[in-house]
Amino acid sequence: MARHVIIGAGTAGWNAITTLRELDKGGSEIILVSEEAPYSRMVLPYYLAQSIGESHVYTASSSRLAELKVETRIGQRAEQIDSAAKKLVLEGGGEIEYDNLLIATGSSPLKAPVPGADGDNVHSFWTLSQAQTVTAGLRKEARVAVIGAGFISFTILNALVNRGAILTVVELESRILPRMVDETGATIVEKWLAERGVVVRTATKLSAIEDKNGAKLLKFENGPDLEADLVIMATGIRPNIEWTRSSGIEINSGILVDDHCRTNIPNIFAAGDIAEGPDIVTGRKAVHAIEPTAMLHGRIAAANMAGDDTAFAGSLLMNIVDVLDLEIASFGAWDDPEAEAFEAVQPDRPAFRKLLFRGGRVVGAVILGKTRDIWTTNDVGMLKGLVYTGVDLSDWKDHLRHNPFDVKRAFLAAGTAGQLLSKTVLGRPSVPAGEIAISS
């Protein structure tokens, strides 16, 4: 019986486990080695909002893993790979032999390297344990400083505001969400936040965090000091690759994988935030560090570990975030400088669209609008479909140049749905994870 060793119980690891069991129904050995128990980080903002309890963030309990015939080493860290002997070495001793190894160790948060960054009441918001600390410690009307105005800060902004925090968001770059929207979009979001009492300070560099009368005093290279009760650092992440360095695995920003999620070493696969794999729009390899890519990689890697020969066309960069009922989403090469950009802003409301064309196809898109404006959530999926299929929109290009908000008829008339029917991932019907049948 083949033995699959999976390192990391996050999104990629969990999707690999369910896919393996979907395919082999228990006919292989799976050993899961993970520092943390299986849970979904992207659900943590809802836990912070207290709209769900802690149990809701877990993807699998220990009994569920046992049902799926997964042997677990939770709380243990992988330390090294001996690929010649096909062995994984664990921290503190212990070795596990493998037939196939999946590296899915995700990423870790970075803190701004300033004095005081490791002090009390200064937290990252990346792990469940950090989320527990922040969730339990957050008082109503607490003054909260969020350092970094990237995607992760924005995922927790709603929860902080809804729990009554008085919020200041500080960003080093000249605008918020620099990796998700352009200047026009960022300006709309900044205004929306200001109207809702959230202070945004862009082009501001934190230099130190000091203690003052039981609170925190933030010092900046430019601008006035800021007092806060709690500081959340969301200043970037980096893939957890250090421990793999001695293994001979090819690494760039992340672990390089091909269109089967294989590394350069036989029988070693990588998936999720740690992997640098093909991007469907650019064709180049990239670390996406997003949930959909971790799911896709996990499923592709597992299919190949199970012995199928399954390639994927590349993963699509995409994000959606709800900022106090303003929806922001971007897809693909939304900032491609060589693309033709068609954009429009509605004068009377926060609404913005941008479509990026290369030739006759859309390679990227940005959508921004009130959640209550029907077209906002009506169109997000279709924009994904257009970018994902790269369907020929030559006939529609002129129309969309002047009406970038009017995508539905273009989507329909271009036959996008027809193309999508054959552009599947594993090419087999989905099985809800709870219904996977294990043969005894």
The residues binding ligand FAD (CB under 6 A) are 7-13, 33-36, 41-42, 44-45, 77-78, 104-107, 125-126, 152, 155-156, 240, 243, 272-274, 289-292, 294, 319
From 11, 246, 38, 30, select the one nearest 106 (Cα to Cα): 11
35 binds, among other proteins, ligand FAD, none (CB under 5 to 8 A by kind): ligand FAD
Closest CB to ligand FAD among residues 77, 358: 77
Of 7 and 290, the one with the shorter C-beta distance to other proteins is: 290
Q: Is residue 382 within the footprint of other proteins (CB under 8 A)?
A: yes
Does 377 sit near other proteins (CB under 8 A)? yes
Q: CA Rg, the chain, in Å?
A: 23
What is the DSSP code (8-state) at residue 58? B
Tell me the residue nearest to ligand FAD as measured from the CB. Answer: 10
For the window 121-160, what string marks contact with other proteins as x by the rule CB under 8 A?
----------------------------------------
Does 42 bind other proteins (CB under 8 A)? Our answer is yes
Cα separation, 400 vs 149, in Å, equals 31
Choose between 357 and 388: whose C-beta lies nearer to other proteins.
388
> Please, is 129 exposed, middle or buried when counting C-beta atoms within 10 Å of its C-beta (0-12, 13-18, 19+)?
exposed
Burial label, 118 (beta-carbon count in 10 A; 0-12, 13-18, 19+): exposed
Query: Who contacts 312 (Cβ-Cβ below 8 Å, separation ≥6)?
Result: 259, 260, 261, 278, 296, 300, 425
Residue 329 touches which member of ligand FAD, other proteins, none, C-beta under 5-8 Å by kind = other proteins
Among 429, 437, 439, 440, interactor with other proteins by CB under 8 A = 429
Q: How far is CA 289 from the centre of its chain?
A: 5
Residues 301, 438: Cα–Cα separation, whole Å: 20
**Shortest gap between Cβ of 415 and other proteins (angstroms)?**
4
Cα 377 to Cα 371: distance, rounded to the nearest angstrom:
7
How many beta carbons lie within 10 A of that of residue 414, not counting itself? 23
Site residues for other proteins per CB under 8 A = 11, 15, 40, 42-43, 46, 51-52, 56, 59, 291-292, 295, 299, 318-320, 322, 325, 327, 329, 331, 371-372, 374, 377-385, 388-389, 395-396, 398-399, 406, 408-409, 411-418, 420-421, 424-430, 432-435
